[in-house]
Amino acid sequence: MNERAGPAILAEGLVKHYAGREGTVEAVRGVDLEVSADEVFGFLGPNGAGKSTTVRMLTTLLTITSGRAEVAGVDVGADPDATRRKIGVALQEAGLDPRQTGRELLVLHGRLFGLSAQAATKRAQVLLELVEIEDAADRVTKGYSGGMKRRLDLAAALVHEPPVLFLDEPTTGLDPASRLTVWDELRRINAEGTTIFLTTQYLEEADQLCDRIAIIDDGLIVREGTPARLKADLRARRGGDQPVTLDEVFLDATGRTRARAAGEVQEVTA
């Protein structure tokens, strides 16, 4: 699917400032990223570190204060519409229209991406079967469970078969079974050649799914590499043979103790 020569996602000195009540908030302070085509890239960080802000800039939902970004070879700031054709987006909240049925929603999205009515209907059916909600396809989404909403949201992001998929905490709030279903789905989508950029709070999820990860803290990337590499680096720094988990890498990278990570949450929102 990916025939591009360059990286699927490229960010250079990405900065986002907000005007807050107490002056300017520097949500992202110069993020550099390079994600290869066909990779599953995990983007981790504590609450308020700048994960969602970065995703929202890369997906054209937020303007970039300074720096530049390219997605699927398209300059995000210069040509947001072309960028939108190349990406699928599933944000933190499974953003669905509560008064549409699952099928109607997927057909509408197909139409909005330029498919004919017939093609959109066919594509909707394929996706409904793929995410296993065809039984509920003709019910309004208001009555869907959290897992069904997430899966439908994922299907909606795939309607136009985008080369790059952005998922902002796709499994937050799901029960373990639903989470495993979403993981399987992501592996399958990635195997078909889609680059996946994934933010998550669950380090096990990143460990299981991601080829590489980056950890952002206070608006800056503080670690980047494969999960195995990052764990090996920390083990080497500590010395000894004790195995290191990704949780420990995360805590080390963000300078947080377990207690502080659990108790200190500061959210920065758009």
Partner 1 sequence: MSATLALGRRSLTEAIRQPDALFMTFFIPIFFLIVNTGQAAELFPSSSTDFLEGQGYGAFQLPITLLLAASFGMAALFLVEEIEGGYFDKLRAMPIPRYAMVMGRLIAEGVKCVTIASLIVLIALPFGITIASGLFGFVLLVGLTALWGVVYAGFMQLIALKTRSAAATNSGGLIFFPLLFLTPNFVPRDMLTEPMEVAATFNPVTYLMEAMRSLILDDLDWEKILPGFGVVAVLGVIMLVLNVRMIKRYD
Q: Which chain residues interact with partner 1 by CB under 8 A?
A: 59-63, 81-82, 84-85, 87, 89, 91-100, 104, 108-109, 111-113, 140, 153, 156, 270
- Closer by beta carbon to partner 1, 85 or else 235: 85
Minimum Å gap between C-beta 233 and partner 1 is 35
- Closer by beta carbon to partner 1, 156 or else 203: 156
Contact 187, 218 (CB under 8 A): no
- The CA–CA distances, whole Å, from 193 to 76, 106, 199, 242 equal 21, 22, 19, 36
- Closer by beta carbon to partner 1, 105 or else 249: 105
- The CA–CA distances, whole Å, from 191 to 3, 84, 87, 185, 243 equal 15, 22, 17, 10, 30
Minimum Å gap between C-beta 74 and partner 1 is 11
Minimum Å gap between C-beta 52 and partner 1 is 11
Q: How far apart are the first and last CA of the chain?
A: 34
Strands (E) across 36-160 are located at 40-44, 66-71, 74-75, 87-90
- Closer by beta carbon to partner 1, 242 or else 269: 269
Residue where the block lists tokens 């509560």: 98
- The CA–CA distances, whole Å, from 169 to 131, 165, 175, 244 equal 18, 13, 14, 24
Minimum Å gap between C-beta 104 and partner 1 is 7
What does the alpha-carbon distance between residue 173 and residue 150 come to, in Å, rounded to a whole number?
A: 10
Minimum Å gap between C-beta 21 and partner 1 is 16
Minimum Å gap between C-beta 31 and partner 1 is 18
- What are the phi and psi torsion angles at 207 (to 5°)? -65, -40
Contact 201, 172 (CB under 8 A): yes
- Closer by beta carbon to partner 1, 157 or else 251: 157
- Closer by beta carbon to partner 1, 25 or else 108: 108
